[in-house]
Amino acid sequence: MPQVSFDLVSYVAGLTGIKVIPFAIVTFIGMTPIVFLMSFFGYLIEPFLSWILVFLIIALVLYMIYFLKKRKDNKVYSNFLK
């Protein structure tokens, strides 16, 4: 479950009466599908990693420009009200 930290689940399980071996087996069975899916999709996108990196860098630069422009506009507007 991506919404819940795996560490948190492990700590809560440690506070319960669950035995170590059943916990390990259930954890292994529960993690197998997501590990398979992440590995599979990672393998599929590997040829496109350079393009993904370029896209992420461009998106970050555009966001920074937007953020700095918005911040500058807010300063001009707040100085106007004083």
Please state, in angstroms and rounded to a whole number, the distance separating the CA atoms of residues 39 and 1: 17
pLDDT in tens, 44-79: 999 999 999 999 999 999 999 998 888 877 665 555
Position 58 scores a pLDDT of: 97
Mean pLDDT of the chain: 84
Q: Could you tell me what percent of the chain has a pLDDT over 90?
A: 39
Position 53 scores a pLDDT of: 94
Mean pLDDT, residues 24-39: 89
In this structure, are residues 28 and 21 in contact, taking their beta carbons and an 8 Å threshold? no
